[in-house]
Amino acid sequence: MKRIAVLSSGGDSPGFNPCIRAVVRQGLDYGMDVFGVERGYIGLIQGRFRQLNARSVGGIIGRGGTFLGTARSEEFKTALGQREAIRNLNVNGIEGLVVIGGDGSFRGAQALHERGVKVVGIPGTIDNDIPYTDMSIGADTALNTALDAIDKIKDTASSHRRAFIIETMGHESGYLALIAGLAGGAEIILVPEIETKLETIVADLQDSYTRGKNHFIIVAAEGWKPGTQALASHLRERQEELGFPVRVTVLGYVQRGGSPSAFDRLLATRLGAAAVAALHSGESGVMVGLIGNKIQTTLLSKVVKQNKSLDMSFYELAKVLEK
Ligand code: ATP
């Protein structure tokens, strides 16, 4: 294989840049020409290719975001959009494609594979919800950002004897809330995967107050129902019975940015190099992932069929430790 391209797609996460750097430099080491595609599948449809050399990816290893840009493309979900993308790959003589993204991006990659394009996926999402990899690129950095915020909020919560609801990202996945909550010593963790009744939260708050706690930290994923604003209103209505006044902090997009952690840089680097090695050895329609401490490939068709479920042992452990 002489010519490959790399694109980032869907929501960005910290570590995309070191991953692209590894793809480019590993490709050059194999003697390949490497092209970057701007703005994910949109760039593929529009033929926005840029040849990259070792210098093009200099100085980006510690930068958040993705210097190629990323996007979502409805057009690419259609047969016409995919045909345009394949045409552009052919016109530019590109024989292999690396796709960095989440499960939606992998559905797109699988569609290309089924149409004969050689393609390898790399898992990148702060939700860490992709199966067949222990970690996805960006999740560790996002966790550390959330944890830093929890620690800071805990300081003021203790000083003022307050309850705080801290909302993390995660529409369908409670991973960030669970792990940041566990590592940050939250009193209660609320995730979309587990139903928690408002009455249970009220009882926990009252109990903590009686036990002499001087703060109560609730870490909630944005996808938890009925939602942090509804919870805050309910708790405010009952403030007299609770003991603690309630404040809300929504962490939002700060969790998606920032310099990638050491873990994410290393993961991104290993996965980027492994994806090119997979293309080089003729593999296609696979995702490279970290299982145990080994980089392993799994068929994309398997990856997109499954959801990664939350590790309930962490949830149980958090419940034991919240005393
Ligand atoms: P995130 O974790 O941020 O959601 P993602 O990769 O899952 O990342 P999506 O918006 O779901 O993000 O998908 C990114 C892009 O992949 C879509 O905009 C679309 O172009 C393409 N894509 C998604 N699903 C399909 C599909 N079934 N067939 C072809 N392409 C798809």
Within a 13 Å sphere around the CA of 50, how many CA atoms are in the beta-carbon half?
A: 16
9 C-beta closer than 6 A to ligand 1: yes
Nearest Cα to Cα of residue 107 among 73, 137, 135:
73
Does the pLDDT of residue 88 top 80, yes or no?
A: yes
Does the pLDDT of residue 226 top 90, yes or no?
A: yes
Distances (CA, A) of 15 to 154, 234, 252: 28, 39, 18
Over the stretch 142-161, which tens digit does the pLDDT of each residue have?
A: 999 999 999 999 999 988 88
The CA 11 to ligand 1 mean position distance, Å, reads 9
Q: How confident is the model at residue 78 (pLDDT cuts 50, 70, 90)?
A: very high
pLDDT, position 38:
98
The total of other beta-carbon atoms located within 10 Å of residue 188's CB is 21
pLDDT, position 138:
98
For 21, the token pair is 């750097």
Does the pLDDT of residue 220 top 90, yes or no?
A: yes
272 C-beta closer than 6 A to ligand 1: no
138 C-beta closer than 6 A to ligand 1: no
pLDDT, position 275:
99
Tell the residue nearest (CA) to atom 2 of ligand 1.
102
Token pair 């430099």: residue = 25
Look over the chain and give the mean of its residue pLDDT values, rounded to a whole number: 96
Q: How far apart are CA 39 and CA 127, in angstroms?
A: 21
Does the pLDDT of residue 222 top 90, yes or no?
A: yes
What percent of the chain stands above pLDDT 70? 100
The CA 46 to ligand 1 mean position distance, Å, reads 17
Distances (CA, A) of 36 to 68, 133, 227: 7, 25, 40
Does the pLDDT of residue 56 top 90, yes or no?
A: yes
Q: How confident is the model at residue 239 (pLDDT cuts 50, 70, 90)?
A: confident
Q: Residue range 226-248: average pLDDT?
A: 94
Q: Residue range 178-198: average pLDDT?
A: 97
Tell the residue nearest (CA) to atom 16 of ligand 1.
105
Pairing verdict, β 294-299 and 286-291: antiparallel
Q: Residue range 103-128: average pLDDT?
A: 98
Over the stretch 266-289, which tens digit does the pLDDT of each residue have?
A: 999 999 999 999 999 999 999 999
Q: Is the peptide bond before 226 cis (omega within 30 degrees of 0)?
A: yes
77 C-beta closer than 6 A to ligand 1: yes
The CA 279 to ligand 1 mean position distance, Å, reads 22
Contact 44, 54 (CB under 8 A): no
The CA 55 to ligand 1 mean position distance, Å, reads 30
pLDDT, position 158:
86
DSSP 68: T
Topology of the domain covering 140-256:
Rossmann fold (3.40.50)
Dihedral (C-alpha) 35, 37, 41, 45: value to the nearest 10 degrees?
-80
What are the extents of the domains in the chain? 3-138+260-303, 140-256
Tell the residue nearest (CA) to atom 19 of ligand 1.
73
DSSP 224: S
Q: Do domains 3-138+260-303 and 140-256 have the same CATH topology?
A: yes
Does the pLDDT of residue 323 top 80, yes or no?
A: no
Contact 92, 47 (CB under 8 A): yes
Q: Residue range 257-264: average pLDDT?
A: 98
pLDDT, position 240:
87
The total of other beta-carbon atoms located within 10 Å of residue 307's CB is 12
Q: Which amino acids are annotated catalytic?
A: 127
Strand arrangement, sheet containing 246-250: 188-190, 216-221, 163-168, 246-250
Over the stretch 124-140, which tens digit does the pLDDT of each residue have?
A: 999 999 999 999 999 99
41 C-beta closer than 6 A to ligand 1: yes
- Cα maximum dimension of the chain: 71
Distance from the first to the final alpha carbon of the chain = 58
pLDDT, position 181:
97
Over the stretch 7-45, which tens digit does the pLDDT of each residue have?
A: 999 999 999 999 999 999 999 999 999 999 999 999 999
110 C-beta closer than 6 A to ligand 1: no
Topology of the domain covering 3-138+260-303:
Rossmann fold (3.40.50)
Q: Residue range 52-74: average pLDDT?
A: 97
